[in-house]
Amino acid sequence: MVRRRLPEWEHLKDSAATVPDAEIERIGASFAPPPYASLPGDDTGFRAAVADHRAFANWVKRNVFPHRVPGYAVVTLSLKKTGVPPGDATSDQMDAIADLADHYSFGELRVSHEQNLIFPDVRQSALQTLWSELKDLGLATPNIGLLTDIVCCPGGDFCSLANAKSIPIAEAIQRRFDDLDYLHDLGELDINISGCMNACGHHHVGHIGVLGVDKSGEEWYQVSIGGTQGEHAALGKVIGPSFAAHEMPDVIARLLDVYVARRFADERFVDTARRLGVEPFKEHVYAATH
């Protein structure tokens, strides 16, 4: 791939497609950084709150990320509370979120492709207060990057292209795995659900991917494992024949049985799946379902 790119770059780099440095600077001037305060890199009050409050500490561990500016943090608002369609927010929640963005994040709010919301510039000293307000809004579930942080397309409930419903599958999985201690023990795990081959839920790159299919007018679900996004992107491999909707929580549970039994210390599900291959997972899942 690199060998292919280099000749193409040589062909393009001085062509009309080249963007001059002056143009880059002009565009960049429209995206000036906010007026950050000069703060210590590690707020002592914030660290004390983390040490004293387990629930707050869990939220910080999963939903708060480092910032390049000392004294600030990036906060992800989870839209994956159990019992709510993944990525959904009410109009009242959005009104409140807009007010919080004004108060805590220079009026800026971002949307992630994982179907969550992000405050990109929050002072460390304000994190505990923000967390308390997000809890009251139902937006502080500490599950970013965990099993219940499911990416899910609208599916057959809302999309005319879908072969099958997606949201009920996501909700059934979330209800089955609603123990936060268990989720944290499992570690990073991406589940992506698409209602058809158009793959709006990016099921191909889920650690566990679920694809809705039509079989003689009935809704079934094909499962793949081992996909991932990012620098080392890979497509998941289908484990076998598709499943009925009511089987899906049990299918996920049996995939996790293999992972928990055979993982190395601190090994993610996707890494275990790649190391072992599809067969051990396939054997365990289909031994119980067929």
In the predicted model, is pLDDT for residue 1 greater than 70? no
Helix (H, G, I), strand (E, B) or coil at 148: coil
- Check whether residue 190 and residue 111 sit in a common domain: no
Place of tokens 């994956």: 80
What residues are paired with 220 via a beta bridge? 213, 244
Residues in the chain: 290
In the predicted model, is pLDDT for residue 95 greater than 60? yes
- Check whether residue 175 and residue 241 sit in a common domain: yes
Q: Is residue 192 part of a domain?
A: yes
- Check whether residue 112 and residue 66 sit in a common domain: yes
CATH code where residue 100 lies: 3.90.480.20
Distance CA 163, CA 246 (A): 16
Nearest to 182 by CA among 147, 220, 230, 221: 147
Q: Which of 111, 137, 163 is the last residue of a domain?
A: 137
pLDDT in tens, 142-176: 999 999 999 999 999 999 999 999 999 999 999 99
Q: Is residue 144 part of a domain?
A: no
Quick one: pLDDT at residue 14? Answer: 78
pLDDT in tens, 31-86: 889 999 999 999 999 999 999 999 999 999 999 999 999 999 999 999 999 999 99
238-262 CB burial, b ≥16 within 10 A, e <16: ebbebbebebbbebbebbbebbeee
- Check whether residue 128 and residue 159 sit in a common domain: no
- Check whether residue 186 and residue 236 sit in a common domain: yes
- Check whether residue 167 and residue 208 sit in a common domain: yes
Q: Which of 137, 171, 188 is the last residue of a domain?
A: 137
pLDDT in tens, 108-123: 999 999 999 999 999 9
Number of alpha helices (DSSP H) and beta strands (DSSP E) in the chain: 11, 10
Place of tokens 């959005």: 94
Quick one: pLDDT at residue 290? Answer: 59
- Check whether residue 125 and residue 162 sit in a common domain: no
Region 127-150 average pLDDT: 98
The sign of the CA dihedral 15, 21, 107, 70 is positive
Quick one: pLDDT at residue 10? Answer: 80
How many domains is the chain partitioned into structurally?
2
Distance CA 234, CA 220 (A): 24
Q: What is the mean pLDDT of the chain?
A: 95
Region 272-290 average pLDDT: 92
Q: Is residue 164 part of a domain?
A: yes
Region 253-270 average pLDDT: 97
- Check whether residue 187 and residue 240 sit in a common domain: yes
Segment among 54-63, 95-104, 132-141, 177-186 with least mean pLDDT: 177-186
- Check whether residue 157 and residue 268 sit in a common domain: yes
CATH code where residue 280 lies: 3.30.413.10
What residues are paired with 218 via a beta bridge? 215
**Strand 72-77's sheet: what is its strand order?**
64-66, 72-77, 117-123, 110-111
Q: What is the pTM of this model?
A: 0.89
Q: Which of 107, 137, 167 is the last residue of a domain?
A: 137
- Check whether residue 234 and residue 164 sit in a common domain: yes
DSSP code for 199? -
Residues 6 or more apart from 4 whose CB is under 8 A from it? Answer: none
Domain that holds residue 225: 151-289
Q: Is residue 75 part of a domain?
A: yes
Q: Is residue 206 part of a domain?
A: yes
- Check whether residue 156 and residue 250 sit in a common domain: yes
- Check whether residue 198 and residue 285 sit in a common domain: yes
The sign of the CA dihedral 13, 14, 16, 22 is positive
- The amino acid at residue 282 is K
